[in-house]
Structure 1
Amino acid sequence: MIKAILARIRWNGLSELHQRRHTSRSAAMFNAIQQRFPHLKHPEQIQLKHIRWLKDVWLVQQAYADATQTDYKRTLALLISALEGDRHWQKALKIEKNSSKGGRPEKCRTIRTRRCQ
């Protein structure tokens, strides 16, 4: 399941180290989702409630340091984009980006595809 999601991400010059870190964090998150919700077999089956459980329950249970939790939330935002979760997901999870702040442009992007119906 994770290979299909990672195939939608374009790293655009992101260092190999950061790519591996995002990949390992996303693998840990998808493993947690699959253990908690074993009926999910395809990425298209992941819904907002599964991501909300991941952020609100699993991430808290891991008791990571604040910086590590921030890294996981950054990876989660990338995965939501790869899952084609819309702005509604980002608002519901309170991880939307404020475009008025400015800052560096993002290096990783996701490919938009048509979801299977």
Structure 2
Amino acid sequence: MNLRLIYTRIKFNDMKPPHPARHRNRIQKIADTVEDRFPEVNRPEKIKLKHIQWFSNYWLEAQGYSPATRADYISSLKLLVEALGRSVHWLGPLGLKPKGAGGRPRASRVVKSKKYY
């Protein structure tokens, strides 16, 4: 799956060098896994909520990753959902809504305007 448009929307502002590449690799693995399980999803625009729910509920649990690695995948999954432009509707059912006010600001952001495409 070609994720070039997704990668151009994600901005890694002050992240140190290995972390942006790790996020990109995890996003690519998420997309490839969804495409393997659901062959009709061959473009990022075709990813639906049920595909992301399958990934987070079944595939991620079946891999037996440690809690830290699982949290890294969830963080990359959140970036993917925001880059797809569906964060308002999808974060609630996925359980990715913020817990409350406060906390450390994120170093990565998703560009909202379409002039960067």
Normalising by structure 1, we get a TM-score of: 0.89
Stretch deviating more after TM superposition (37-46 or 62-71): 37-46
- State the percentage of identical aligned residues: 35
Distance 2:87 2:10 in 1: 16
Distance 1:89 1:73 in 2: 13
Distance 2:74 2:41 in 1: 22
Distance 1:108 1:65 in 2: 23
The answer for the alignment partner of 1:66 in structure 2 is 67
Structure 1 counterpart of 2:66, one-letter code:
A
Normalising by structure 2, we get a TM-score of: 0.89
For structure 2, list consecutive stretches of 5 or more residues without a partner in the other structure.
none
The answer for the alignment partner of 2:106 in structure 1 is 106
Q: How does 1:2-81 map to 2 (within 5 A)?
A: 2-81=3-82
The answer (yes or no) to whether the contact 1:33–1:54 under 8 Å persists in 2 is yes
Distance 1:35 1:89 in 2: 22
Structure 2 counterpart of 1:27, one-letter code:
Q
Distance 1:2 1:13 in 2: 22
Distance 1:46 1:113 in 2: 20
> How far off its partner does 1:66 sit?
0.8
Structure 2 counterpart of 1:80, one-letter code:
V
Structure 2 counterpart of 1:10, one-letter code:
K
Q: C-alpha root-mean-square deviation of aligned residues, in Å?
A: 1.3
> How far off its partner does 1:53 sit?
0.6
